[in-house]
Amino acid sequence: MKLFYKNTITLIFASLLFSSCYSVKAPQVVTGMTVNEFTKEAKHEELVSLENGWTIYRVLYGYNAQNVKFYYFRDNKLVKIDEGRRAIDRRVEIN
> What's the pLDDT tens digit per position in 39-92?
888 877 899 999 999 999 998 887 766 788 899 999 999 999 888 776 666 777
Residue 6 pLDDT > 90: no
Provide CB contacts within 8 A for 69, sequence distance 6+. 26, 58, 59, 61, 81, 82, 83, 84
pTM for the full predicted model: 0.63
Range in 5-14, 22-31, 82-91 with the lowest mean pLDDT: 5-14
Q: Which helix (H) or strand (E) holds 11?
A: helix 2-20
Residue 27 pLDDT > 80: no
